[in-house]
Structures are given as C-alpha cells and as structure tokens.
Amino acid sequence: MPDIRAIKDYLLTLQTQLCQAIQAFEPSARFIQDPWQRPEGGGGISCILRHGSVFESAGVNFSHVAGGTLPASASSQRLEIAGCRFEALGVSSVIHPSNPYVPTTHMNVRFFIAHKENAAPIWWFGGGFDLTPYYPFLEDVIAWHQTAQKACVPFGEAIYPAYKAWADKYFYLPHRQETRGVGGLFFDDVNTAVWGWDFAQCFAFLQSVGNHFWQAYGPLVTQRHQHPFTSAQRAFQLYRRGRYVEFNLIYDRGTLFGLQSGGRTESILMSLPPQVSWEYQWQPQAGSQEAELTHYLKPRDWI
C-alpha cells in the first residue's frame, strides 16, 4: 500500500525548500502563504511571490485533494478508474523572471491514487520539469539537460531518453509547430508495472526529479539575472510569454485536471505571467538574437 503520509511530508518539505531558494534572490518581495480548503475534500497551500527584483512571478503550490469521481482529464487514458474515488497530491512551481535572459521554468511532481471497491487501489506518480528561454545560451541548455539526466541515471540508462522524449512531445504547440521551450523531463503513470520498480523505487524517482529541479535552474538564475537588456528585448520576452499562456490554457493536463476537479482557480492559474503580449504576424529580423530562438524550438539531443 502506498505511504501517502511519506509522500505528503516530502512534498511539503520540497515546497519549503523551493520557496527558500527563490526568496534568497529577493531583498524585499516576500512570499504570500495562502492556505485553502476544497469543499469536495482536501486543500493546499499556495505560496506566491509577485513583482520582485529578480522574479516577476514565482509560485510554489502544494495540494492534497480528494473527490468522489476522477475528472475526464485523469481517467480518459484509464477507463478502468472512471468514477472512482481519488486522492491527488502534488507540488507545482512556475517561475517567470523579470530579466529576459533568465528562462521561465516549470516543475511538477505528483501522486494519484484511485480507490476501487473490492479491489486494490490503482496508483501512479507523474511530474517533470522544463525550461522556456527567450534568449537562450547553448551552455545553459546543455547544463539543464545534464542535470535532468543526472536525476535519472541511478534508475537506469533508459530513463532519461524516455522521459526527455516525452517532454519534447508533451510540451509542444501543434498550432505553432514549435516546442514550448527546450524541454527537460516529463513522466506519468509511473508505478510497479512500468519499470519493474516497487513503490519505494517509484517514490525515490519522484524525489530525485524534485530534488534536481533547483540544481538545474538555480545556477541559471545566478548567472543570468543581472545580464543587461533593452526595452526591445523586454518586449520580445512578453511576446514569447504568449506561447506559454497558449500552452497552459489549451493543452496542459494539469490545468485541465485542476479545473475539471473543481480546484482552486487562483492557484491553478498562478502559472500565468503577470504581463504578456501578442502581436499580429510578428516576425524576427533575419540574423537577430530573436531569430536564433527558433533553432531551439525543435527537439534535439542537447547532451
């Protein structure tokens, strides 16, 4: 039987650690801790920092919710659990820096369990992290993927290639024919049937991904947050943020699950940036830094 108490303890610790790491960059802006309860069952703590000197927006949310029926976004691929009672635990973080040279990033680690009458519960882990640069540095993208690979190595050589490829496929905007960024890791449905791991190994993998997230992202913030930029580069950042909004509102399964399960709207939509813009048929100048971004928006082997 999965140890839900241990999962919850880890997720709350991870939330605290991420908030502390982010807060270390901000001399004046502070996280708001916003506990909430869900009428259908459970609740969470949303930790939100806005309009800092380094981070325009940073959210680190913990939730532990329960309900009588899984929403379609969670059961469409698993028809055998449609209509089951469920619990879902997770930590989700989305960070939108102020400086265009610091990438936006997203991390999520989660656990689902569906309770069937007269049968053993069905459970799985999911999560990952990905990077969305506006003015990318090749060495940063390589380092990001090296750390993602490091999170996976103890669990087998096939893990990183599989979940890197899944991230490339998942974080993709078909209507734009481009990836949301340079990817990272994405996994779902991890249980004893996938890699032959027991619960402890599945849980250990989730923890490895969660623990390596800031190891991958923190150095990029340290190195790039004081990089000089122009108003034109800031405008490009806001324009490209539009792609992030498009993905989260149209395709993101976490957003759909939260809304379909009656989740807290303010916490679900903390992933959206405070400022964003769209331009009609905007095109970068040939040979410009903005044009270089297109080379990063196709899946490739970064390592």
Residue 106 annotated among the catalytic residues of the structure: yes
Task: Say whether 115 sits in a helix, a strand or coil.
Answer: strand
Long-range contacts for 21-28 (Cβ within 8 Å, ≥24 apart)? 21/214, 21/218, 22/49, 22/55, 22/58, 22/60, 22/95, 23/49, 25/52, 25/53, 25/54, 25/55, 25/221, 25/225, 26/52, 26/53, 26/54, 26/55, 27/53, 28/52, 28/53
Task: List CB contacts of 92: < 8 A, sequence separation 6 or more.
Answer: 59, 60, 61, 63, 106, 107, 108, 110, 254, 271
The rounded distance, in Å, linking the Cα atoms of 38 and 36 is: 7
Q: How many CA atoms lie within 13 A of 70 on its CB side?
A: 24
Q: Which residue out of 64, 96, 106, 145 is catalytically annotated?
A: 106
Return the active site residues.
106
